[in-house]
Amino acid sequence: MNPHTKIEIQDVWEAKKRMQTMIKPTPLIASPKLSDKINASVYLKLENLHEIGSFKVRGASNKIVSLTEEEKSHGVTTFSTGNHGLAVAYIAKRLGIRAVICISNRVPVGKVNAIQQIGAEVERVGDSQDDAEERCYQLEKEQGLTVIKPFDDPHIIAGQGTMGLEIIEEVPRIDTVIVPLSGGGLFSGVALALKSYNPSIQLIGVSMENAAVMSESLKADRPVILPEQNTLADSLLGGIGLNNQYTFPLVKEYLDDLILLTEEEIATGMGFMLNQHKLVVEGAAATGVAAILSGKLKTHGKHVATIITGNNIDLTAFTSIFQKQLYKSSRQ
């Protein structure tokens, strides 16, 4: 482990223990159709089955539980494209902590409503996650709230890494894992857990073509800013932070390949999950499936897993997407 990352596999195991009363392990199921597609055993890690419908509850739980009693008494705030805000709101409510969630005006209304229904305060700010982030730090300065970062934080990374431990427990010979990649908290944690167990495991990042900030940052060898664009994988939008300390170096260290997907490919992945597994998932959650279906996953081993990250999608939007997929299938 490189010293600049300051995160070790012990942190992931500690997170697993710390979170055991808050977070239940999620299933890892086989996908026969995907297995046939690439002639390998393909598994789906169903993070969409958490109570809030997203893996983000892992990192939020590990971080908030770790706060001091004084920090908890002042409350927490975060900036989010939706799922992290939902996770922070959920954990804060369970612990009786005030939560203020700052969200840009681009976040789908369904996610905003879900956060408000939990009981958190919501502030809509600007047109990007960066705008929401700026407001969070104002709240920290003015009201003493603790900022719960969405990804670039050791506790968040370690919390997300616990799903890597669960994958190993279920399939000890896993050799390829496909991980949706945005700010890098999920990828960093899972990669740390898996590479510490077996350095030869292949870690494949997947993202959308539209405004893939981590991809462009890796090309530039430094964090960059991109304007956000409309995408089905809206949970993967947002910058990685120009002062990124943890996830950018971890992604650079552990990423074996990066696959970018078109909107049509993502929609096909969403349709597949409903048709074959009877699961409604959001665009970001379908990116790993889309990478397999599209043929863009060029190299892999005998045991492949992909993480189904969440199911927080507006059902009206999903119905439209699925109708288009049905029409496409009938034409073919």
Cα gap 212→262, rounded to integer Å: 11
> Mean per-residue pLDDT for 303-324?
84
Q: What is the DSSP letter of 19?
A: T
Q: Is 101 within 8 Å of 78 (Cβ atoms)? A: yes
Helix (H) or strand (E) holding 303: strand 303-308
**How many angstroms separate the first and last alpha carbons of the chain?**
49
Query: Is pLDDT of 330 > 70?
Result: no
For residue 278, report the phi and psi dihedrals to the nearest 5 degrees. 55, 40
CA distance 160 to 247: 12
pLDDT number for residue 2: 41
More confident residue, 325 or 125: 125
Given a cut of 80, is residue 129 above it in pLDDT?
no
Say what the pLDDT of residue 1 is: 37
**Residue 322 and residue 266 in contact, taking contact as beta carbons nearer than 8 Å:** no
Q: Which residue has the higher pLDDT, 314 or 125?
A: 125
Question: pLDDT band at 319, cuts 50/70/90?
Answer: confident
pLDDT by residue (tens digit) across 49-84? 999 999 999 999 999 999 999 999 999 999 986 789
pLDDT digits (tens, 9 = 90+) for 221-261: 999 989 888 899 988 988 898 999 999 999 999 999 999 99
* 28: region left, alpha or beta (phi > 0 left; psi from -120 to 50 alpha): beta
Which of the residue ranges 121-130, 131-140, 274-283, 286-295 would you say has the lowest mean pLDDT?
121-130
Q: Give the type of residue at 193.
A: A
Q: Give 331's pLDDT tier (boundaries 50, 70, 90).
A: low
What's the pLDDT at 332?
Answer: 58
40: its two tokens = 């390998």
The confidence band for 329, taking pLDDT boundaries of 50, 70 and 90, is low
**Per-residue model confidence as pLDDT tens digits over 253-299:** 999 999 999 999 999 999 999 999 999 999 999 999 999 999 999 88
Residue 210 scores a pLDDT above 50:
yes
Residue 222 token pair: 């430094």
pLDDT, mean over the chain? 92
